[in-house]
Protein backbone atom coordinates (compact mmCIF):
# COMPACT_ATOMS: atom_id res chain seq x y z
CA UNK A 1 0.00 0.00 0.00
CA UNK A 2 1.40 3.38 -1.02
CA UNK A 3 2.32 5.86 1.70
CA UNK A 4 3.39 9.47 1.51
CA UNK A 5 6.45 10.72 3.38
CA UNK A 6 6.24 14.17 4.93
CA UNK A 7 9.01 16.65 5.75
CA UNK A 8 9.85 15.74 9.35
CA UNK A 9 10.52 18.06 12.27
CA UNK A 10 14.25 18.72 11.98
CA UNK A 11 14.61 20.18 15.47
CA UNK A 12 16.10 23.50 16.62
CA UNK A 13 12.70 25.15 16.17
CA UNK A 14 12.95 24.92 12.37
CA UNK A 15 9.59 25.29 10.62
CA UNK A 16 10.57 24.85 6.96
CA UNK A 17 13.24 23.49 4.64
CA UNK A 18 14.33 23.71 1.03
CA UNK A 19 14.42 20.58 -1.12
CA UNK A 20 18.03 20.93 -2.19
CA UNK A 21 18.44 17.67 -4.14
CA UNK A 22 16.49 14.48 -4.73
CA UNK A 23 18.64 11.37 -4.34
CA UNK A 24 16.03 9.10 -5.96
CA UNK A 25 13.83 9.18 -9.07
CA UNK A 26 10.30 8.01 -9.76
CA UNK A 27 10.21 4.27 -10.43
CA UNK A 28 13.38 3.64 -8.43
CA UNK A 29 13.48 0.91 -5.80
CA UNK A 30 14.69 2.02 -2.36
CA UNK A 31 15.53 0.11 0.79
CA UNK A 32 14.74 1.31 4.28
CA UNK A 33 17.30 3.96 5.35
CA UNK A 34 18.53 4.51 1.78
CA UNK A 35 19.34 8.21 1.13
CA UNK A 36 16.14 9.84 -0.10
CA UNK A 37 16.46 13.63 -0.25
CA UNK A 38 18.73 16.48 0.86
CA UNK A 39 16.97 19.25 2.77
CA UNK A 40 18.60 22.65 3.21
CA UNK A 41 17.64 24.37 6.47
CA UNK A 42 18.84 27.66 7.90
CA UNK A 43 21.58 25.67 9.66
CA UNK A 44 22.83 22.96 7.31
CA UNK A 45 22.06 20.52 4.52
CA UNK A 46 20.50 17.40 6.03
CA UNK A 47 20.31 14.05 4.24
CA UNK A 48 17.00 12.33 5.03
CA UNK A 49 16.77 8.53 4.62
CA UNK A 50 13.76 6.61 3.35
CA UNK A 51 11.53 5.50 6.23
CA UNK A 52 10.62 2.26 4.47
CA UNK A 53 11.45 0.04 1.49
CA UNK A 54 9.51 0.17 -1.76
CA UNK A 55 9.13 1.92 -5.11
CA UNK A 56 9.23 5.69 -5.47
CA UNK A 57 5.83 6.29 -7.05
CA UNK A 58 5.72 10.07 -7.14
CA UNK A 59 7.96 12.99 -6.20
CA UNK A 60 5.65 15.76 -5.00
CA UNK A 61 8.02 18.69 -4.37
CA UNK A 62 10.52 20.08 -6.86
CA UNK A 63 14.15 20.85 -6.10
CA UNK A 64 14.49 24.44 -4.93
CA UNK A 65 11.03 24.60 -3.35
CA UNK A 66 10.83 25.79 0.26
CA UNK A 67 8.08 23.97 2.16
CA UNK A 68 6.89 23.85 5.79
CA UNK A 69 7.38 20.90 8.11
CA UNK A 70 4.63 18.33 7.49
CA UNK A 71 4.49 18.84 3.71
CA UNK A 72 4.15 15.62 1.69
CA UNK A 73 7.41 15.14 -0.21
CA UNK A 74 7.16 11.77 -1.93
CA UNK A 75 4.91 8.73 -2.31
CA UNK A 76 6.48 5.30 -1.81
CA UNK A 77 4.60 2.11 -2.65
CA UNK A 78 5.12 -1.60 -2.17
CA UNK A 79 8.30 -3.07 -3.67
CA UNK A 80 7.83 -3.51 -7.42
CA UNK A 81 4.68 -1.39 -7.60
CA UNK A 82 4.67 0.58 -10.87
CA UNK A 83 5.19 4.32 -10.66
CA UNK A 84 2.11 6.49 -10.96
CA UNK A 85 1.52 8.25 -14.24
CA UNK A 86 1.71 11.99 -13.97
CA UNK A 87 -1.46 13.85 -14.79
CA UNK A 88 -1.01 16.32 -17.64
CA UNK A 89 -0.30 19.84 -16.47
CA UNK A 90 -3.30 22.09 -16.88
CA UNK A 91 -2.83 25.03 -19.16
CA UNK A 92 -2.88 28.37 -17.37
CA UNK A 93 -6.28 30.04 -17.46
CA UNK A 94 -6.88 32.42 -20.32
CA UNK A 95 -7.20 36.05 -19.27
CA UNK A 96 -9.78 38.24 -20.84
CA UNK A 97 -10.25 41.97 -20.60
CA UNK A 98 -8.03 44.05 -18.30
CA UNK A 99 -4.63 42.69 -17.34
CA UNK A 100 -4.71 41.26 -13.81
CA UNK A 101 -1.82 42.58 -11.72
CA UNK A 102 -1.42 44.34 -8.38
CA UNK A 103 -0.27 47.98 -8.22
CA UNK A 104 3.15 46.84 -6.96
CA UNK A 105 3.59 44.50 -9.95
CA UNK A 106 2.48 47.27 -12.31
CA UNK A 107 5.04 49.63 -10.81
CA UNK A 108 7.84 47.05 -11.19
CA UNK A 109 6.78 46.43 -14.79
CA UNK A 110 6.96 50.15 -15.49
CA UNK A 111 10.42 50.43 -13.91
CA UNK A 112 11.69 47.48 -15.98
CA UNK A 113 9.99 48.58 -19.19
CA UNK A 114 7.85 45.46 -19.44
CA UNK A 115 4.49 45.61 -21.26
CA UNK A 116 2.07 43.65 -19.08
CA UNK A 117 -0.24 42.84 -21.96
CA UNK A 118 2.32 40.42 -23.37
CA UNK A 119 3.22 38.69 -20.10
CA UNK A 120 1.60 35.29 -19.29
CA UNK A 121 0.45 35.21 -15.68
CA UNK A 122 1.24 32.29 -13.40
CA UNK A 123 -0.79 33.48 -10.42
CA UNK A 124 -4.34 32.52 -9.42
CA UNK A 125 -6.80 33.15 -12.23
CA UNK A 126 -3.98 34.17 -14.57
CA UNK A 127 -2.83 37.06 -12.39
CA UNK A 128 0.63 38.39 -13.31
CA UNK A 129 3.13 38.07 -10.46
CA UNK A 130 6.35 39.94 -9.74
CA UNK A 131 8.34 36.87 -10.84
CA UNK A 132 6.45 36.84 -14.15
CA UNK A 133 7.47 40.45 -14.77
CA UNK A 134 11.09 39.90 -13.84
CA UNK A 135 11.27 36.77 -16.01
CA UNK A 136 9.91 38.80 -18.91
CA UNK A 137 12.53 41.50 -18.29
CA UNK A 138 15.29 38.89 -18.39
CA UNK A 139 13.90 37.44 -21.61
CA UNK A 140 14.02 40.96 -23.07
CA UNK A 141 17.73 41.21 -22.37
CA UNK A 142 17.86 42.73 -18.87
CA UNK A 143 20.39 40.20 -17.63
CA UNK A 144 20.48 36.75 -16.06
CA UNK A 145 18.06 35.97 -13.23
CA UNK A 146 18.89 33.17 -10.84
CA UNK A 147 16.72 32.21 -7.84
CA UNK A 148 18.18 32.19 -4.34
CA UNK A 149 18.72 28.55 -3.43
CA UNK A 150 20.62 26.41 -0.95
CA UNK A 151 23.32 28.03 1.15
CA UNK A 152 22.92 31.36 -0.68
CA UNK A 153 19.25 31.56 0.30
CA UNK A 154 20.10 30.75 3.92
CA UNK A 155 22.84 33.40 3.96
CA UNK A 156 20.45 36.00 2.52
CA UNK A 157 17.76 35.28 5.11
CA UNK A 158 20.22 35.13 8.01
CA UNK A 159 21.99 38.37 7.09
CA UNK A 160 18.69 40.19 6.50
CA UNK A 161 17.46 39.14 9.94
CA UNK A 162 20.68 40.21 11.64
CA UNK A 163 20.64 43.57 9.85
CA UNK A 164 16.98 44.08 10.75
CA UNK A 165 17.20 43.13 14.44
CA UNK A 166 20.72 44.05 15.61
CA UNK A 167 21.88 47.68 16.14
CA UNK A 168 25.58 47.14 15.31
CA UNK A 169 28.69 49.12 16.23
CA UNK A 170 32.17 48.19 14.95
CA UNK A 171 35.42 48.85 16.84
CA UNK A 172 38.77 48.52 15.00
CA UNK A 173 42.36 48.38 16.28
CA UNK A 174 45.82 47.52 14.98
CA UNK A 175 47.57 44.33 16.10
CA UNK A 176 51.22 43.31 16.00
CA UNK A 177 51.27 39.68 14.81
CA UNK A 178 55.07 39.46 14.64
CA UNK A 179 55.25 36.75 17.31
CA UNK A 180 52.42 34.65 15.87
CA UNK A 181 53.31 31.94 13.31
CA UNK A 182 51.09 32.43 10.26
CA UNK A 183 49.92 28.81 10.35
CA UNK A 184 48.73 29.42 13.93
CA UNK A 185 47.25 32.87 13.39
CA UNK A 186 43.57 31.92 13.28
CA UNK A 187 43.68 29.40 16.17
CA UNK A 188 45.65 31.97 18.22
CA UNK A 189 42.93 34.56 17.64
CA UNK A 190 40.18 32.05 18.46
CA UNK A 191 41.93 31.04 21.70
CA UNK A 192 42.54 34.68 22.65
CA UNK A 193 38.87 35.47 22.11
CA UNK A 194 37.67 32.57 24.26
CA UNK A 195 40.02 33.46 27.11
CA UNK A 196 38.92 37.11 26.96
CA UNK A 197 35.22 36.18 26.85
CA UNK A 198 35.63 34.70 30.32
CA UNK A 199 36.37 38.26 31.53
CA UNK A 200 33.67 40.01 29.46
CA UNK A 201 30.61 37.82 29.85
CA UNK A 202 28.22 40.12 27.99
CA UNK A 203 29.98 39.32 24.71
CA UNK A 204 29.34 35.60 25.24
CA UNK A 205 25.59 36.03 25.61
CA UNK A 206 22.17 36.09 23.99
CA UNK A 207 19.34 38.61 24.11
CA UNK A 208 16.44 36.39 25.14
CA UNK A 209 13.24 38.45 25.05
CA UNK A 210 13.55 41.03 27.84
CA UNK A 211 16.52 39.26 29.48
CA UNK A 212 20.21 38.70 28.75
CA UNK A 213 21.30 35.07 28.84
CA UNK A 214 24.96 34.77 29.85
CA UNK A 215 26.45 31.54 28.51
CA UNK A 216 28.91 29.45 30.49
CA UNK A 217 30.40 27.65 27.49
CA UNK A 218 32.86 28.91 24.89
CA UNK A 219 31.88 27.43 21.53
CA UNK A 220 33.40 29.60 18.82
CA UNK A 221 32.09 29.70 15.25
CA UNK A 222 34.79 30.01 12.58
CA UNK A 223 33.62 31.37 9.23
CA UNK A 224 34.69 29.23 6.24
CA UNK A 225 34.27 30.20 2.59
CA UNK A 226 33.01 27.34 0.40
CA UNK A 227 32.01 27.08 -3.25
CA UNK A 228 28.37 27.36 -2.15
CA UNK A 229 28.85 30.31 0.19
CA UNK A 230 29.95 31.14 3.73
CA UNK A 231 29.30 28.57 6.46
CA UNK A 232 30.20 28.78 10.16
CA UNK A 233 31.17 25.46 11.78
CA UNK A 234 31.58 25.50 15.55
CA UNK A 235 34.66 24.61 17.61
CA UNK A 236 33.37 23.31 20.96
CA UNK A 237 34.99 24.01 24.31
CA UNK A 238 37.66 26.38 23.00
CA UNK A 239 38.63 27.42 26.54
CA UNK A 240 39.83 23.88 27.26
CA UNK A 241 41.94 23.48 24.11
CA UNK A 242 45.49 24.53 23.30
CA UNK A 243 46.36 26.54 20.19
CA UNK A 244 47.77 23.39 18.56
CA UNK A 245 44.57 21.47 19.32
CA UNK A 246 42.51 24.33 17.91
CA UNK A 247 44.61 24.36 14.73
CA UNK A 248 43.77 20.69 14.15
CA UNK A 249 40.08 21.17 14.96
CA UNK A 250 39.69 24.24 12.73
CA UNK A 251 41.49 22.60 9.80
CA UNK A 252 39.24 19.53 10.08
CA UNK A 253 36.05 21.58 10.21
CA UNK A 254 37.15 23.78 7.29
CA UNK A 255 38.00 20.76 5.12
CA UNK A 256 34.65 19.11 5.80
CA UNK A 257 32.80 22.40 5.32
CA UNK A 258 34.27 22.71 1.81
CA UNK A 259 33.43 19.09 1.00
CA UNK A 260 29.88 19.47 2.32
CA UNK A 261 30.26 16.68 4.87
CA UNK A 262 29.59 18.58 8.11
CA UNK A 263 26.86 17.27 10.37
CA UNK A 264 24.02 19.66 11.18
CA UNK A 265 25.03 19.80 14.86
CA UNK A 266 28.46 21.11 13.87
CA UNK A 267 26.84 24.30 12.54
CA UNK A 268 24.70 25.07 15.59
CA UNK A 269 25.06 26.67 18.97
CA UNK A 270 28.08 28.96 18.64
CA UNK A 271 28.43 31.63 21.33
CA UNK A 272 30.78 33.97 19.43
CA UNK A 273 32.20 34.04 15.89
CA UNK A 274 35.65 34.71 14.40
CA UNK A 275 36.12 35.39 10.69
CA UNK A 276 39.19 35.96 8.55
CA UNK A 277 39.67 36.00 4.79
CA UNK A 278 43.47 35.82 4.90
CA UNK A 279 45.11 37.66 2.01
CA UNK A 280 41.68 38.68 0.70
CA UNK A 281 40.66 40.26 3.99
CA UNK A 282 41.46 43.88 3.12
CA UNK A 283 42.67 46.39 5.69
CA UNK A 284 39.66 45.70 7.92
CA UNK A 285 36.00 44.72 7.66
CA UNK A 286 32.74 45.62 9.40
CA UNK A 287 31.34 42.10 9.88
CA UNK A 288 27.67 41.40 10.55
CA UNK A 289 26.85 39.82 13.90
CA UNK A 290 26.02 36.11 13.56
CA UNK A 291 22.54 36.29 15.11
CA UNK A 292 21.56 35.30 17.81
CA UNK A 293 25.10 35.98 19.06
CA UNK A 294 25.92 39.51 20.20
CA UNK A 295 29.45 39.94 18.81
CA UNK A 296 31.79 38.87 16.02
CA UNK A 297 35.51 39.53 15.51
CA UNK A 298 37.21 39.68 12.12
CA UNK A 299 40.91 39.69 11.27
CA UNK A 300 42.13 42.03 8.54
CA UNK A 301 45.02 41.40 6.18
CA UNK A 302 48.29 40.72 8.00
CA UNK A 303 51.40 42.02 6.22
CA UNK A 304 54.80 43.65 6.90
CA UNK A 305 54.34 47.37 7.62
CA UNK A 306 56.44 50.19 9.06
CA UNK A 307 55.51 50.93 12.68
CA UNK A 308 56.97 53.01 15.49
CA UNK A 309 58.53 51.08 18.34
CA UNK A 310 60.12 53.37 20.92
CA UNK A 311 61.98 56.05 18.97
CA UNK A 312 62.54 53.91 15.89
CA UNK A 313 60.56 52.97 12.79
CA UNK A 314 60.72 49.22 12.27
CA UNK A 315 59.04 46.70 9.99
CA UNK A 316 56.63 44.38 11.79
CA UNK A 317 53.96 41.92 10.68
CA UNK A 318 50.86 43.98 11.43
CA UNK A 319 47.13 43.60 10.89
CA UNK A 320 43.85 44.73 12.38
CA UNK A 321 40.96 43.23 14.26
CA UNK A 322 37.43 44.56 13.96
CA UNK A 323 34.79 43.79 16.57
CA UNK A 324 31.12 44.28 15.68
CA UNK A 325 28.76 44.08 18.64
CA UNK A 326 25.06 44.37 19.45
CA UNK A 327 24.74 47.72 21.23
CA UNK A 328 21.58 46.57 23.02
CA UNK A 329 23.69 44.15 25.07
CA UNK A 330 27.26 45.47 24.93
CA UNK A 331 28.43 49.00 25.77
CA UNK A 332 31.16 50.58 23.67
CA UNK A 333 33.67 50.85 26.52
CA UNK A 334 33.26 47.18 27.41
CA UNK A 335 33.59 46.14 23.76
CA UNK A 336 36.80 48.16 23.45
CA UNK A 337 38.17 46.66 26.67
CA UNK A 338 37.40 43.18 25.36
CA UNK A 339 39.12 43.97 22.06
CA UNK A 340 42.22 45.23 23.85
CA UNK A 341 42.27 42.10 26.02
CA UNK A 342 42.19 39.94 22.88
CA UNK A 343 45.02 41.96 21.32
CA UNK A 344 47.14 41.71 24.48
CA UNK A 345 46.80 37.93 24.41
CA UNK A 346 47.63 37.75 20.68
CA UNK A 347 50.72 39.95 21.01
CA UNK A 348 51.87 38.10 24.10
CA UNK A 349 51.35 34.63 22.65
CA UNK A 350 54.89 34.27 21.37
Cβ atoms 246, 191 nearer than 8 A: yes
CA angle 235–238–243, rounded 5-degree value: 100
3-state secondary structure of 248: helix
Catalytic residue flag (residue 327): yes
CA distance 4 to 310: 74
* Active-site residue, selected from the candidate residues 158, 163, 291, 327: 327
Among 226, 251, 221, 56, which Cα is nearest to 150's?
Answer: 226
Which residues, including other chains, have CB under 8 Å from residue 294's CB and lie 6 or more apart?
166, 202, 203, 205, 206, 207, 325, 326, 328, 329, 330
For β-strands 272-276 and 295-299, DSSP reports them as: parallel
Where do runs of H (alpha helix) occur along 90-173? Answer: 103-112, 130-137, 150-165
CA distance 130 to 102: 9
Beta bridge partners of 229: 226
Buried-exposed string 104-132: b where 16+ CB fall within 10 A, e elsewhere: ebeebbeeeebebeebebebeeebbbeeb
How many CB atoms lie under 10 A from the CB of residue 3?
A: 14
Cβ atoms 5, 76 nearer than 8 A: yes
Cβ atoms 119, 131 nearer than 8 A: no
Cβ atoms 343, 319 nearer than 8 A: no
Active-site residue list: 327
Amino acid sequence: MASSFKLPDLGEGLTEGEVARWLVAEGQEVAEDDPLVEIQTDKATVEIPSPYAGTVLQVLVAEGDVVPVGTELVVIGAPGEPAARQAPTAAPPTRTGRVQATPVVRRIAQELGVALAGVPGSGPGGRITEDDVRDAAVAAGEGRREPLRGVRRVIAEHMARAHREVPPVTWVEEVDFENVPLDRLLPTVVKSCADSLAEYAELNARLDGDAILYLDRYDIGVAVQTDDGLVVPVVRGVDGKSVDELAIAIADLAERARSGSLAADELRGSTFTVTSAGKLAGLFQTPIVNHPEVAILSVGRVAPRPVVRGDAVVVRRVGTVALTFDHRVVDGARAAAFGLAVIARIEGSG
